[in-house]
Amino acid sequence: MTSQTPHAPSGESAPGPQGPTADQVRRAPKVLLHDHLDGGLRPGTVIDLARDVGYDALPETEPDKLGMWFHEAADSGSLERYLETFAHTCAVMQTREALARVAAECAEDLAADGVVYAEVRYAPEQHLEAGLTLEEVVEAVNEGFREGERRARADGHRIRVGALLTAMRHAARALEIAEVANRYRDAGVVGFDIAGAEAGYPPTRHLDAFEYLKRENNHFTIHAGEGFGLPSIWQALQWCGADRLGHGVRIIDDIDVAADGGVQLGRLAAYVRDKRIPLELCPTSNLQTGAASSYAQHPIGLLRRLHFRATVNTDNRLMSNTSMSREFELLIETFGYTLDDMQWFTVNAMKSAFIPFDERLAMINEVIKPGYAELKSEWLFRQTVTTSGFDSEQG
Ligand SMILES: O=c1[nH]cnc2c1ncn2[C@@H]1O[C@H](CO)[C@@H](O)[C@H]1O
Ligand SMILES: [Zn+2]
């Protein structure tokens, strides 16, 4: 029950004299489980699409300014206000072409950032305003992801993207969306989720959808423990049967750290750790919505030390002005993480993905571990070059 090491032992010694460089962080293979399609558009694309469809309510019409507007508007300290910014992105994602373009660029951008596997979520019910059906939305996004994977490959990056279909928790279409997710499970959709304002909308409102997915042996995650605390996490796990927790960061409320450093887990926190329930942690997003007060205070530091199944995620790259590399860089600066820590988070994420076990294992053994081994060996060669230079100067 106690763990007092400042940085958790990862089982391997940290190579090299210092932490990873920004370039190594970008090149390191990364796995992303929690990223919203409608929260990751390029600002320039929002502007292009708004022009195409005649949407004239954008607060800015110049890409840099619009990007800044999203970041500042989302920086409100409240999940509800953070979510208001999605009205603009959803407004321009109403046609097949727009959805396919946004999905393709998403895959391209993630691949360029070194993400090798991503599960990207969106709520099909929010893209029906111009007359598309739920199925047409799913097919357009899938087509975009495949196109993005192809473009990334042509550019020398390999990425695999799976879709998660989200139902909005204030609405009443969860069962219908779950059925679509199930229908497309062998066609690009790897699972289901619920999102939106958490307080006042407990996950048990959508129990029928979760029970249906369980009967179908399908997978789902639930946004819980972000805008609301332990009761939401408890319901998501013990009533709904979630495979993973979207955020889950407020599990910290069930962990006591005594003045002498001793750590005591409550029953729910112990359950989450014992059952290896994956936590899709999104540090920057949590700062913006008020779920954490600073990077240094973010529970990820303690959760990593206590060996929870913690993963690092972006949530909304546009609203949080972030990327997987940026999230890792911030954690490296704050907690002194090494490539071993990055590998630990990445393997955690890959183990927790919704694709079949053999494919997850192959990604870990054939892509992630060799990728980190390669990066960890680089400092040796840097050292050799410096040393031999020194030697030859000395004659
Ligand atoms: O961090 C979050 N918590 C809860 N809901 C969110 C978060 N980020 C985005 N969405 C909601 O999910 C929808 C589908 O992608 C978005 O439109 C937004 O309303
Ligand atoms: Zn989210």
Per-residue pLDDT reduced to its tens digit, 123-135: 999 999 999 999 9
Strand intervals (E) in the chain = 30-36, 115-122, 160-168, 189-195, 221-224, 244-247, 255-257, 263-265, 279-281, 310-312
Residue 385: pLDDT above 50?
Answer: yes
List the Cα angle 351/194/101 in 5-degree steps: 80
- Exactly one of 105, 125, 179, 226 is catalytic; name it: 226
**Could you identify the atom of ligand 1 that is nearest to the CA of residue 198?**
4
Please tell me the least confidently modeled range out of 167-181, 229-243, 318-332, 372-386.
372-386
Nearest ligand to the CA atom of 102: 1
Nearest ligand to the CA atom of 120: 1
Residue 384: pLDDT above 80?
Answer: no
Pocket perturbation via mutation, ligand 1, pick of 120, 201, 223, 228 by most ligand atoms within 8 A of CB: 223
Between the CA of 266 and the centroid of ligand 2 the distance, in Å, is 25
pLDDT > 90 fraction of the chain, expressed in percent and rounded: 88
CB contact at 8 A, 342 and 310: no
Between the CA of 109 and the centroid of ligand 1 the distance, in Å, is 20
**Could you identify the atom of ligand 1 that is nearest to the CA of residue 89?**
17
Each residue's pLDDT tens digit, 19-36:
899 999 999 999 999 999
391 is in an annotated binding site: no
Residue 14: pLDDT above 70?
Answer: no
CB contact at 8 A, 1 and 51: no
User: In the structure, what pLDDT confidence band is assigned to residue 160 with cuts at 50, 70 and 90?
Assistant: very high
Look at residue 380 in the predicted model and tell me its pLDDT.
84
- Binding pocket residue ranges, ligand 1, CB within 6 Å: 36, 38-39, 79, 83, 86, 90, 121-123, 126, 166, 195-196, 223, 226, 285, 315-316
- Which domains are delineated in the chain? 22-42+93-385 (3.20.20.140)
Residues with CB under 5 A from ligand 2 (ion): 315
Nearest ligand to the CA atom of 122: 1
Residue nearest to atom 15 of ligand 1 (CA): 122
Look at residue 3 in the predicted model and tell me its pLDDT.
38
Look at residue 81 in the predicted model and tell me its pLDDT.
87
Look at residue 379 in the predicted model and tell me its pLDDT.
80
Q: What is the average pLDDT score of the chain?
A: 93
| Distance separating alpha carbons of residues 60 and 43, to the nearest angstrom | 10
Which string of DSSP letters, residue by residue, matches 71-116? Answer: HHHH-SS-HHHHHHTHHHHHHT--SHHHHHHHHHHHHHHHHHTTEE
**Could you identify the atom of ligand 1 that is nearest to the CA of residue 90?**
17
**What average pLDDT does range 184-193 have in this prediction?**
98
Question: Comparing C-alpha atoms, which of 173, 171, 271, 180 is closest to residue 218?
Answer: 180
Between the CA of 196 and the centroid of ligand 1 the distance, in Å, is 5
Between the CA of 310 and the centroid of ligand 1 the distance, in Å, is 20
7 is in an annotated binding site: no
| Distance separating alpha carbons of residues 141 and 127, to the nearest angstrom | 11
Residue 282: pLDDT above 60?
Answer: yes
Residue 17: pLDDT above 90?
Answer: no
**Could you identify the atom of ligand 1 that is nearest to the CA of residue 126?**
17
**What average pLDDT does range 184-189 have in this prediction?**
97
For 356, how many CA atoms within 13 A lie in the half-sphere containing its CB? Answer: 5
**Could you identify the atom of ligand 1 that is nearest to the CA of residue 166?**
14
Instruction: Give the three-class secondary structure for 357.
Output: helix
36 is in an annotated binding site: yes
329 is catalytic: no
Pocket perturbation via mutation, ligand 1, pick of 38, 79, 192 by most ligand atoms within 8 A of CB: 38
Each residue's pLDDT tens digit, 266-277:
999 999 999 999
User: In the structure, what pLDDT confidence band is assigned to residue 388 with cuts at 50, 70 and 90?
Assistant: low
Look at residue 335 in the predicted model and tell me its pLDDT.
97
CB contact at 8 A, 159 and 189: no
Nearest ligand to the CA atom of 227: 1
Residue nearest to atom 12 of ligand 1 (CA): 195
Between the CA of 260 and the centroid of ligand 1 the distance, in Å, is 39
User: In the structure, what pLDDT confidence band is assigned to residue 13 with cuts at 50, 70 and 90?
Assistant: very low
pLDDT > 70 fraction of the chain, expressed in percent and rounded: 92
Look at residue 221 in the predicted model and tell me its pLDDT.
98
Question: Comparing C-alpha atoms, which of 306, 380, 299 is closest to residue 339?
Answer: 380
Each residue's pLDDT tens digit, 329-366:
999 999 999 999 999 999 999 999 999 999 999 999 99
Each residue's pLDDT tens digit, 91-101:
999 999 999 99
Look at residue 386 in the predicted model and tell me its pLDDT.
54
How much is the ipTM here?
Answer: 0.99
Question: Comparing C-alpha atoms, which of 124, 118, 108, 60 is closest to residue 88?
Answer: 60
